[in-house]
Amino acid sequence: MPDLPAGAWLIVVEVDWHGRPQRAVVPVVVARSTAEVAAIQPDDRLLHLVAKASGGTLWQGQPPASGVPVAAAAQGDPLARADLVHTELWSRPEVLLALIALLSVEWALRRRWGLA
């Protein structure tokens, strides 16, 4: 969709999946490219400092389109992975009870010390 003019758009996809209509709506914002991103140049000094601080090296070879060297992962060294798990407070009664107990103790101590 490179010919879309700048602005806010909704992409609507409707299909019939196993006899049941399905619909997906995705909001999209199209913006004109600005001079800020027209000519992005790397800051070699900053890249060198980041590489040094993280224990890496600054690679100054061919452009990435021509191939980027990939370091082999060490055997037994798992790749870093982060998963976000959403758990509602009401699904964990022990956490809820601990929170209520903590707030009750705080309230009792404030009353005892004359702060409430």
- The pLDDT value given to residue 112: 93
Distance separating alpha carbons of residues 65 and 76, to the nearest angstrom = 30
Average pLDDT over the chain, rounded to an integer: 79
23-80 pLDDT, tens per residue? 999 888 888 777 766 667 778 888 889 988 998 877 776 555 555 555 555 555 555 6
Residue 97 pLDDT greater than 70, yes or no: yes
Q: What is the pTM of this model?
A: 0.29
Distance separating alpha carbons of residues 59 and 47, to the nearest angstrom = 9
- Please, which pLDDT band fits residue 101 given cuts at 50, 70 and 90? very high
